[in-house]
Amino acid sequence: MEHSTLSMEQMSAHCSTGLQIGITPFVRVPYRCGEGFVQKVLDAGALGVVFPHVHSKTDAEAAVSISKYPPFGKRSVTGQLPIFQLKPTPTERIIAETNESGSSVILMIETREGVEKVEEIATVPGVEVLLVGSNDLSIDLGVPAQWKSTEFRSALETISKACKKHGKVMGLAGIYEDPEFHSWAINGLGVGFILGQQDSGLLARSAKEVSKALQDI
């Protein structure tokens, strides 16, 4: 929802469909969208929220606070939820199961400041993934889309060390169809969560293939 015109209703339909067919739905929310917006995303069926442009420990703590029920956060409890098939569910079960596996907190590190403070960000309990926003991070570092540059790779190594030290999953977004880089990310950095493509990229690639096939004929 950060870089699209997807509505709350459309997002909820996607999440509900994912839950029905065994796909875990995560939703990336707009930057500084507010606690009320995040609450609605989670109540609508998301099992995790991706928070863009996380710069500090304070940002990380705020993300956990709205995503988790007490005692880990301050999320408000409601009744029927998609994660429980909209069935009436005891509050104790809602809190326990959702805190454990239905409210993943995924923080995007995509600025120089975020990298500089990644050590303290990684210490926050309740944060599961630190996700590198490759495009924005490379731009902020002054090396746009230069994935092999020393500046970019050094930043990723810093994030990797923080993740390993504090038991967080490192994620990678924005670099697609690059086996060499992905191999280094997985085997060298320990990346365990990768965005492999996005809808516009998939559509554009298929369109090019169809166009070329017609031109060849």
pLDDT tens digits for range 44-103: 999 999 999 999 999 999 999 999 999 999 999 998 899 999 999 999 999 999 999 999
HSE, side-chain direction, 13 A CA sphere, residue 104: 21
How many domains is the chain built from?
1
Catalytic member of 3, 53, 55, 182: 3
Q: What CATH number did the domain enclosing 178 receive?
A: 3.20.20.60
Per-residue confidence at 193, pLDDT binned at 50, 70, 90?
very high
Q: What is the pLDDT of residue 79?
A: 81
Q: What is the pLDDT of residue 189?
A: 98
Q: What is the mean pLDDT of residues 36-43?
A: 96
Q: Has 3 been annotated as catalytic? A: yes
Q: What is the pLDDT of residue 80?
A: 85
* Strand-pair partners of 169: 129
User: Greatest CA separation found in the chain?
Assistant: 64
How many Cβ atoms sit within 10 Å of the Cβ of residue 48? 20
How many Cβ atoms sit within 10 Å of the Cβ of residue 27? 22
Q: Tell me the pLDDT tens digit for each residue of 53-62.
A: 999 999 999 9
Q: Contact, 53 vs 111, CB < 8 A?
A: yes
Question: Is residue 102 a part of any domain in this protein?
Answer: yes
Domain carrying residue 78: 8-216
Question: Is residue 43 a part of any domain in this protein?
Answer: yes
Question: Is residue 180 a part of any domain in this protein?
Answer: yes
Question: Is residue 2 a part of any domain in this protein?
Answer: no
* Strand-pair partners of 107: 51, 130
Q: What is the pLDDT of residue 184?
A: 97
Per-residue confidence at 10, pLDDT binned at 50, 70, 90?
very high
Q: Tell me the pLDDT tens digit for each residue of 122-150.
A: 999 999 999 999 999 999 999 999 999 99
Residue pointed to by tokens 């950060």? 2
Question: Is residue 1 a part of any domain in this protein?
Answer: no
Report the alpha-carbon distance of residue 146 to residue 77 in Å, rounded. 44
Question: Is residue 33 a part of any domain in this protein?
Answer: yes
Q: Strand 26-28 to strand 104-109: parallel, antiparallel, or no bridges (unpaired)?
A: unpaired
Which one, of 79, 74, 75, lies nearest residue 93 by Cα? 79
Q: What is the pLDDT of residue 97?
A: 95
Q: What is the pLDDT of residue 129?
A: 98
Per-residue confidence at 176, pLDDT binned at 50, 70, 90?
very high
- pLDDT mean across residues, the chain: 96
Question: Is residue 175 a part of any domain in this protein?
Answer: yes
Q: What is the pLDDT of residue 183?
A: 97
Q: What is the pLDDT of residue 96?
A: 96
Q: Which residue has the higher pLDDT, 198 or 207?
A: 207
Per-residue confidence at 9, pLDDT binned at 50, 70, 90?
very high
Q: Name residues whose C-beta falls within 8 Å of residue 153's C-beta, 6 or more positions apart in sequence.
A: 147
Q: What percent of the chain has pLDDT over 90?
A: 95
